[in-house]
Structure 1
Amino acid sequence: MALLAQVVASMPDPTSREQAALLEAELATAHNVAHAITVSSGTAALHTALVACGIGPGDEVLLPAATVIMTVAAVVQAGARPVFVDAGPDGGLLDLADAAPKITARTRAVVPVHLAGRCGDLDALTDLAVRAGLDVIEDACQAHGSRYRGRLLGTVGTVGCFSLKDGKLVSCGEGGYLVTDNPDLAARAAAFRTHWQTPAPGQPALSRLGTNYRLAEPLAALARCSLARLDDTLTHRQQVARHLVELVGDLPGLAHIPATADEQPNGYCALWRILLPDPRGLCRRLADVGIVNSVGTFGLRAAHLHPACQELHPAPCPRAERDIDTLLAVLTPEDDQRVDQIAALIRNEVQAW
């Protein structure tokens, strides 16, 4: 609170970015990368990353149909066309066999989305991207602290994008950031998020249009406090997710979705596959009794079915549709006392359904 009071007291200075600069240095260290750029939201991080990669009108971007609408919005905001890729037959969020034939001369990037801190086979995806000359822009907004074969998610591709919204493992209410080892990309991202007032090398100030995606100083201060607790938060959320799965136990019609051998998820969500009639209805019922989950609470659906995406004339992605419609992704609580209550509610509602 003392730090926040100090920041608020200094806010008449319109040029002060001390807290944002300190946060960027601490984020770069935490992710073991050269550069971190703070912005105003996770969606802003994705939009900024796309622009910094030179993606714009006429370009195409591959992304999983099994994603949140915010990922799609960022691609459209950049002026590019999202091309949806079906989920894999083994439950992976992005099927490379479906992605490969969708690559055209206009394809510039692929955006793997690490929903619930999971990621699939990133090595195979990276290999495909390298062969096709595509940037890999990781949507790691739900993946703080998750790892793939020991590597932090968000640091595997060209650039990683994160959210600081409440509920994330690092949060300040609202905000975001991107991480990269590419100095030119970082400079373009920093220029874009502040109307190109701080220009990238070789480009004069205000020589290009940007936007205002700056992270407010009080939010940066809050994020610094949250980041300092990340190791403890990560351990706690992983423990809570495991405990919740253990308490729910074996139920007819509900199958736990374990991480693969290559994944070390952050415990953002506990995941199950629903094998009962009207699984979306069950998710809504669970939301009604206070269990925060992706489908029932936030209305997650495969992007190609989202009403806002119909003007994009998306191709069907049946496996993504099935996987999302039967997914129970329960946001793990920070309060240990809630775990027993949530587990009991899940058991009661599933058995009644």
Structure 2
Amino acid sequence: MPEQDTAHEAIGAVLARMPDPVGYHEARALEAGLAQAFGVRRAVALSSGTAAIHTALAACGIGPGQDVLMPAVTVVMTVAAVVATGAHPIFVDAADDGRGMDLKDLAAKTGPDTAAILAVHLAGRTDRIHEVAAYARTAGLRLIEDACQAQGTTTGGRNAGTIGDIGAFSLKDGKVISCGEGGYLLTDDTDLADRAAAFRTHWQTPAPGAPGGSRLGHNFRLAEPLAALARHQLQRFPEALAQRRHQAVTLHHAVDDTPGLEPLHPADGEHPNGYSALWRLTLPEPRAFSTRLAGAGVPNSVGTHCLTAVHRHPACAHLATGDLARAQATVDALLAVPFTEHDTDDVLRELALTIRQEAARWQAR
């Protein structure tokens, strides 16, 4: 049976039960499937990746008067989730090599109000997560992973999002597993899972130390039709993951010897999910070059989505903590080209040709 037909059947079965109350059957089944697929005790389905990060923070007890250490090299949605809890985000500079947070800056910015570290796995990479996890344990801090772009990435034999206390994921379109909009959490801590499940539904269900109705929460439930679609997508996760990795390898092979583009190879022991192909630009005016590529039909994080270090984002400038020059330089020089399941080898060849041609023109200016 064609894949599209089975997706229609999955959603149709749910729609047939509506508008009568349908309980939480599809979402609970999705949670069971996710927990099994990623080898953890619990999964909690949510309405978006941002809601997942917010819920993870709330489940860890993060709130007003507390600080959360997080990379300055991230997307604004991660910051929004921290601010929504009432906590204060503390931005950490990039490491000298641009891979992950600077551990010295992380330690220097840890203070008496610091309650957690929020690591972010941009473009499917988990740079220095094991070192960050070791520091979190030593400092007695919660470690939350924003793995929204890292479904299926492994590092040191561990799945991204399962190394810290709790990991947040997105099911938005474009992710390896997607249903248009949605998210989920993974954890081995059943208390955290229970608190997350209570928080996502106005605390109508009990959690350890907090009976049902004893606290305020949110409506962060994943709609049943979307949960049904996510369950269908989860069944083909291995194939989708293999396709993304094939796409990344194919584009890298076609582009890596281009002057002005330095491929960012995975760290030892890391097996990325192929969310994006990654290069460090050594061309002059790299941000302008990324914008030029976007205009030429090559989607990328800087040129298309205007990624910037978050302390430079207009909505976050008042939260800035120091100069964070390495973070901005890291983002400016980053060329991250994402994929979708519709990007055939022919499409990738066209992208590669455009990148090579535009880089040559840029050098010759």
Q: Which band: TM-score by shorter chain? A: over 0.9
Matches within 5 A, 1:38-187: 38-187=45-194
1:121 to partner: Cα distance:
2.0
Cα deviation code 1:285-344 (max 9, x no counterpart): 211222111111111100111111112243211111101001000002422231111111
Match for residue 346 of structure 1 among 351, 355, 359? 355
Contact 1:283 1:328 in 2 (8 A): yes
Instruction: Name the structure 1 match of 2:36.
Output: 29
> 1:289 and 1:35 mapped to 2: Cα distance?
44
Between 124-133 and 331-340, the greater mean CA deviation after superposition: 331-340
1:284 to partner: Cα distance:
1.3
Contact 2:49 2:183 in 1 (8 A): yes
Between 72-81 and 304-313, the greater mean CA deviation after superposition: 304-313
One-letter identity of the residue aligned with 1:190: A
> 1:2 and 1:146 mapped to 2: Cα distance?
30
Q: Secondary structure at the match of 2:90?
A: strand
Q: Secondary structure at the match of 2:304?
A: helix
Instruction: Name the structure 1 match of 2:239.
Output: 232
One-letter identity of the residue aligned with 1:351: A
Alignment partner of 1:279 is 2:286: yes
> 1:15 and 1:173 mapped to 2: Cα distance?
20
> 1:312 and 1:91 mapped to 2: Cα distance?
22
Q: Secondary structure at the match of 1:111?
A: strand
> 1:170 and 1:16 mapped to 2: Cα distance?
23
One-letter identity of the residue aligned with 1:159: I
One-letter identity of the residue aligned with 1:31: F
Contact 1:333 1:339 in 2 (8 A): no
> 1:15 and 1:212 mapped to 2: Cα distance?
16
> 2:256 and 2:216 mapped to 1: Cα distance?
54
Where do 5+ consecutive residues of structure 1 fail to align? none
> 1:249 and 1:88 mapped to 2: Cα distance?
23
1:202 to partner: Cα distance:
4.1
1:124 to partner: Cα distance:
1.5
Cα deviation code 1:2-21 (max 9, x no counterpart): 12111111122335211101
Q: Secondary structure at the match of 1:298?
A: coil
> 2:340 and 2:361 mapped to 1: Cα distance?
24
Instruction: Name the structure 1 match of 2:5.
Output: none
Contact 2:172 2:183 in 1 (8 A): yes
1:258 to partner: Cα distance:
0.7
Q: Secondary structure at the match of 1:307?
A: coil
One-letter identity of the residue aligned with 1:48: T
Cα deviation code 1:81-110 (max 9, x no counterpart): 000001111222211111001101100000
Contact 1:93 1:320 in 2 (8 A): no
Contact 2:294 2:300 in 1 (8 A): yes
One-letter identity of the residue aligned with 1:121: R
Q: Secondary structure at the match of 2:277?
A: strand
> 1:290 and 1:245 mapped to 2: Cα distance?
17
> 1:4 and 1:263 mapped to 2: Cα distance?
35
Instruction: Name the structure 1 match of 2:276.
Output: 269
Q: Secondary structure at the match of 1:161?
A: strand
Q: Identity over the aligned pairs, expressed in percent?
A: 54
> 1:151 and 1:26 mapped to 2: Cα distance?
18
One-letter identity of the residue aligned with 1:277: P
Cα deviation code 1:258-299 (max 9, x no counterpart): 111121101000001111122111111211222111111111
Contact 2:100 2:128 in 1 (8 A): no
Instruction: Name the structure 2 match of 1:298.
Output: 305
> 1:246 and 1:169 mapped to 2: Cα distance?
22
Contact 2:48 2:184 in 1 (8 A): yes
Contact 1:240 1:333 in 2 (8 A): no
> 1:313 and 1:98 mapped to 2: Cα distance?
14
Q: TM-score, normalised by structure 1?
A: 0.98
Instruction: Name the structure 2 match of 1:213.
Output: 220
What is the number of equivalent residue pairs in this alignment? 353
Instruction: Name the structure 2 match of 1:326.
Output: 333
One-letter identity of the residue aligned with 2:355: I
One-letter identity of the residue aligned with 2:354: L
Contact 1:295 1:301 in 2 (8 A): yes
Between 183-192 and 8-17, the greater mean CA deviation after superposition: 8-17
1:205 to partner: Cα distance:
2.0
Contact 2:72 2:91 in 1 (8 A): yes
> 1:10 and 1:315 mapped to 2: Cα distance?
54
Alignment partner of 1:20 is 2:63: no
> 1:75 and 1:165 mapped to 2: Cα distance?
20
Where do 5+ consecutive residues of structure 2 fail to align? 1-7
